[in-house]
A and B are shown apart, each in its own frame.
Chain A
Amino acid sequence: MSEYLVNIENERLSFFTPAGEVKALNDVSLRLKEGEVLGIVGESGSGKSVTAYSLMGLTAHPGRLIGGTLEFNGHKINDMTEKDMCTIRGKEVAIIFQDPMTSLNPVFTIGNQIREVIKLHTDKSKEEVQARAVELLTLVGINEPEKRLKQYPHELSGGMRQRVMIAIALACEPKLLIADEPTTALDVTIQAQILELMVELKNKLGMAIIMITHDLGIVANMCEKIAVMYAGKIIEYGLTDEIFYEPGHEYTKGLLKSIPRLDAKEHEKLVPIEGTPIDMLNPPKGCPFAPRCDSCMKICLREMPPVTEFSDTHYTSCWMHQKKEFEGGNVQ
């Protein structure tokens, strides 16, 4: 049993599509202790969700793990059979998906879908299961839980449904909760409520959370650590403060510049990151962000940047920092 709840080392995962191999994850390494909250930030297609799903053994066809090791709560995910995975999914690790509108089965009642997961992983009696379901709905702040349990998903609003999804995820008090953009599909006011609920539940229940999002505002509020992903790689990793105040990678800097701030000076403009993410079918040889990078150098186009460490908790992969070391004569 390692000291980490989650320990992903050098994970490589590819989707074997008819058009060719798409390398969705390249040497992704992540560690998470019990009760920690990690944010994974990145654009669509950067591999955030794929990382999380692979941890649950939910990699969609035609994706395949081709290297690295994944450990969770003492289980070696790589070696586990589908049957073994079923015993930890929903029990030790649970997930909340992005779109609550489509994530609940339309033809079953809310109650049916909550009770299902409780029945599956515990041997509670019928009454206890029902009581637990009511308790869960109360926990996630849904009024009149008994009545709601009899309703169908289409009779609830988006925010309500996401609360139900959270209730399902928390049903067996998992050690790790993965939240895959839990607020993206919701209205802004509802977003705030759901996030507040998650913070509250985290404090109450103390589970670890992996928060996947493209919204830096969310991670700033909730997370202790942040991993920034780009094109299937973690390009910067650090404590929340380190990422926000001393961003090391040009992409992180770009992300930070592109969010509006309350303390911005008048007439200060938001700076978007120009260009589009790379074609994952034919990734470039060098730094994947190079084509969009303002400070791009010749080496960036040719070679993958090595890792530069700033502290025990903060590292990045960017040639800019190698340049500093090179010019300072510190190259090993």
Chain B
Amino acid sequence: MKENPLSFQLKLKPEDFAPASDSEKESLTVMRESVGFWKDGLRRLKKNKIAMVSLVVIVLVMIFSFIVPSFYPYSYETQIQGANNLSPMTYSSNEQQAIDAGEKVFPHVLGTDKLGRDYAIRVMMGSRISLIVGLVATAIILLIGSIYGSVAAFFGGWTDMIMMRIVDIIYTIPDILLIVLLSFALKAPLESLSQVPGFTWIQIVGKNLISIFIVFALLYWVGMARMVRSQVLMLKESEYVTAARALGASNARIIKKHLLTNCIGTLIVTTTLQIPSSIFTESFLSFLGLGVAVPLPSLGSLASDAINGLNTYPYLLFAPALLISLIILSFNLLGDGLRDAFDPKMKN
């Protein structure tokens, strides 16, 4: 404190004490580059190894379930004569003869089930169904939930009160009871509806699948609606929206510029995390025998079928069980990554 050590070491020259120019001063203040919302988020997402691995897994599963079946030599509903309950990579006696005769027979990678259907293709189709349910149901939930939530938040007052009470009631209903009932109850009306011209597509999609979608549409949007409502309310009250309004911005502009851009992060994250939970619910329903109809497989119904033969054919359980866990895990991890990247406020 007492010494002045620097002056000993430094040889000072008069010109050192000349005023510095502005440019010299500015050269010292390094401004960090400012990056936009999307760019910044994507950069953070790309850095997140776990999320990227999950994304790759999801893409692989999608290829596996949507593209591979078209090239696969077996079909999920064809029952191969004499090929019941084959272990993985084994052949039926007919097929063995064919191989001996020099023909090429595609191996049953995962064996066959008790009706002699190739199990690998059934697992692929099963994950296709699970993914479709997950994505479509989430889309339905997103649509209904965000419209409902933003309408409630935007109008406020009595509208909001009544709308939110309805949400509260649906929230307290033990959903599983209604799901089970609904899935049972919807079978017959959908059956008759599918006979009506113009609605025959129901038969193609499968009436159980439709009833699952209806169940989701009726019950599962409440969480999303609450989330969207609270987001919109928060933004509505926020000062920059007030500021924008004071500056004369139109409602459309406020919605587009402020509400959407601020909501979108949370919305993406919630949606991504909704997908695994939809898949979860579908597999649960299928497991109880309320999901897709035979012969269409889903991962849940495959696991359910496998239980009966658990003693003798345990491998029939492992493939769907593993796959469903893998799908849900990857979507969860991707959702976590997205949240960290796009919605740091929500990070926990």
Contact = CB atoms under 8 A, between A and B. Distances in A.
Chains A, B in direct contact (C-beta < 8 Å) = yes
Interface residues of B, number: 24
Interface string B8-39: 10101011111110001110111010000000
A294 to B, nearest CB: 9
Contact of A332 (B8, B26, B29, B32): B8
Interface stretch (A115-123, A127-135, A175-183, A301-309): A301-309
Nearest to A284: B28
Interface in B225-274: none
B4 interface: yes
A275 B30 CA distance: 12
B22 to A, nearest CB: 9
A323 interface: yes
Contacts of A304: 6
A26 interface: no
Nearest to B18: A298
Contact of B5 (A306, A308, A319): A306
B4 A301 contact: no
A271 interface: no
Contact of A331 (B3, B12, B15, B29): B12
Nearest to A282: B30
B7 interface: yes
B12 A326 contact: yes
B1 interface: yes
A141 interface: no
A319 B25 contact: no
A279 B32 contact: yes
B12 A301 contact: no
Give the interface centre of B5, B7, B15 by most chain A CB atoms within 10 Å. B7
Contacts of A282: 30
A29 interface: yes
A322 to B, nearest CB: 7
B7 A297 contact: no
A81 interface: no
B2 interface: yes
Contacts of A291: 25-26, 28-29
A307 B1 contact: yes
Contact of A296 (B3, B19, B32): B19
A300 to B, nearest CB: 7
B5 to A, nearest CB: 7
Contacts of A29: 1
Contacts of A72: none
A163 to B, nearest CB: 30
Contact count band on A = 20 to 34
B1 A322 contact: no
B27 to A, nearest CB: 8
Given A278-B29, A331-B12, A298 B24 contact: yes
Contacts of A299: 12, 16-17
A230 interface: no
B25 A301 contact: yes
A315 interface: yes
Give the interface centre of A291, A295, A323 by most chain B CB atoms within 10 Å. A291
Contact of A303 (B8, B10, B15, B28): B10
Interface in B80-99: none
B120 to A, nearest CB: 45
B25 A298 contact: no
Give the interface centre of B6, B17, B18, B26 by most chain A CB atoms within 10 Å. B17
Given A275-B29, A306-B6, A309-B2, A323 B20 contact: no
B32 A298 contact: no
A297 to B, nearest CB: 5
Given A291-B25, A306-B6, A331-B12, A323 B17 contact: yes
Contact of A279 (B3, B8, B30): B30
Interface in B151-206: none
Interface string A214-237: 000000000000000000000000
A305 B7 CA distance: 9
A207 interface: no
A169 interface: no
Contact of A307 (B4, B20, B28, B30): B4
Nearest to B27: A301
A296 B22 CA distance: 9
B19 A297 contact: yes
B12 to A, nearest CB: 6
A5 interface: no
Contacts of A6: none
Contacts of A309: 2
B7 A298 contact: no
A291 B6 CA distance: 21
A84 B224 CA distance: 51
7 contacts: A279-B29, A295-B19, A298-B16, A301-B20, A307-B4, A319-B17, A327-B17
Given A290-B20, A303-B10, A323-B17, 16 more contacts: A279-B29, A286-B28, A290-B28, A291-B26, A295-B19, A297-B16, A297-B18, A298-B17, A298-B20, A299-B17, A302-B16, A305-B6, A306-B7, A309-B2, A326-B14, A327-B17
Interface of B: 1-8, 10, 12, 14-20, 24-26, 28-30, 32
Interface of A: 29, 275, 278-279, 282, 284, 286, 290-291, 293, 295-309, 315, 319, 322-323, 326-327, 331-332
